[in-house]
Amino acid sequence: ILKTLNSWFWWENIWMPINCTWADFVDREGLVFPKPHQLYATIPYAFVLLIIRFFSERYVAIPLAKALGIKNARRVKPQPNPVLESYFRECSRHPSQSEIQGLAKKCNCTVHLVEKWFRRRRNLEIPTVLRKFQEAFWRFSFYLTSSIVGFIFLYDKPWFYDIWQTWVGYPFQTLLPSQYWYYMAEIGFYWSLLFTLGIDNKRKASGCACLYLKPPCAFDFMAHVVHHLAAIGLMSGSWCGNYLRLGTLVIFVHDTADFWLEAAKMFNYAHWEKTCNVLFIIFSIAFFITRIILFPFWILRATLYQPTYYSTTPVIAYFLFNGMLLVLQGLHLYWGYLIFKILKRFVFLK
């Protein structure tokens, strides 16, 4: 069964134009092509990034937080109580008054002690401001580095200025070393985010709602899961189909706005309100330019419209990749709506 599924998955008609086979993608005459098995390296790269994250958060983010006046709040741990701990994990973190009275009788203690135990136990689940600052610092560092490196990799490429050049010579476009490392770092980064979703602070909707909006909900959390999986799927698929020119443009467009948001969050945690507001406005402008204008009218135009000039018969991958890109654009519109709500409150309600 696995062998049959594997043969179906790598069927040429899914990935490449008519009259092309996988045999055509053997390295030759100075042409180097991306190979699907190279994507296995993204998992070790993800763990390398996690190690870098650990040291940067510990030895850079913490001293920086202290310099900005952020203190590590110490939380009092509740006394060990197997009965209350079991109820907290399996039943409810906010028991009703009648439930508290029943637990007090079961533990042979006062209602006040049970209430205090649950209050302290809930506080342990809330990440400290310092912890939030560390996570924001890591994302800021990666997105800023990725944006700078991405610009260095792309600024001298013709397809950075003329989107039609992304299809010239396709599918026999050689893999550049810069494209290899750009992809490996980005895919590894999103794998690392998935690996730490369970322990990281539950980020709100657009990542900006933590500045001004309501607490996170399940949909907000799932939006990030969908985003990470779609990003990994898109980058991995574009690697296999040799859509690297378009893929690097998609990565660059996404990263250039994100580091402004993370910088705003760091200053928000430090209570530098004016600096936070200025950075958030810059982020909002960058977000709307890159995600609401450039992505649909530049990138999606190149993926939906321009391939018809190079092939009269779109391959299955055309529909798969554009479907995932449209999912990302749907998330952009959802997050853009939330950002607009924040800006509206910021302008009219001060």
Q: Domain limits of the chain?
A: 25-71+128-349, 82-124
Quickly tell me which residue has 């995600």 as its tokens. 291
**Per-residue pLDDT, 55:** 95
pLDDT score at 51? 96
Residue found under tokens 């899961």: 225
The pTM (predicted TM-score) of the whole model is: 0.83
Helix (H, G, I), strand (E, B) or coil at 31: strand
Beta partners for residue 28, in sequence order: 31
Name the 3-class secondary structure at 28. Answer: strand
Q: Please, what sign has the CA dihedral across residues 41, 46, 49, 50? A: negative
User: Which range, of 112-121, 203-212, 307-316, averages the lowest pLDDT?
Assistant: 203-212
Average pLDDT over residues 320-330: 87
Compute the average pLDDT of residues 79-94: 83
Does residue 298 have a pLDDT over 60? yes
How large is the angle between the packed helices 244-269 and 273-287, nearest 10 degrees? Answer: 160
Tell me, what's the pLDDT at 249? Answer: 95
Q: What percent of the chain has pLDDT over 70?
A: 91
Better-predicted residue by pLDDT, 48 or 211: 48
pLDDT band for 260, please (50, 70, 90 cuts): very high
Single out the residue of 123, 164, 145, 138 nearest to residue 60, CA to CA.
Answer: 138
Cα atoms found within 13 Å of the Cα of residue 82, Cβ hemisphere only? 0
CA atoms within 13 A on the CB side of 96: 2
Longest dimension (CA), the chain: 81
**Nearest-CA neighbor of 147 among 249, 33, 225?**
249
What is the percentage of the chain residues whose pLDDT exceeds 90?
44
pLDDT given at position 349? 76
**CB-CB neighbours of 221 under 10 Å:** 15
Does residue 155 or residue 71 have the better pLDDT? 155
pLDDT of 7 strictly over 50: yes
Q: Considering the chain, what is the average pLDDT of its residues?
A: 85
Q: Does domain 82-124 have CATH number 3.30.70.100?
A: no
Higher model confidence: residue 5 or residue 158?
158
Residues with Cβ within 8 Å of residue 20, at least 6 apart in sequence: 12, 171
Give me 75's structure tokens: 């939380």
- Rounded Cα–Cα distance for residues 279 and 134 (Å): 18
pLDDT computed for residue 211 by the predictor: 45
Q: Identify the CA nearest to 283 among candidates 257, 316, 306.
A: 257
Binned at pLDDT 50, 70 and 90, residue 215 comes out as: very low
Q: Is the pLDDT of residue 210 over 50?
A: no
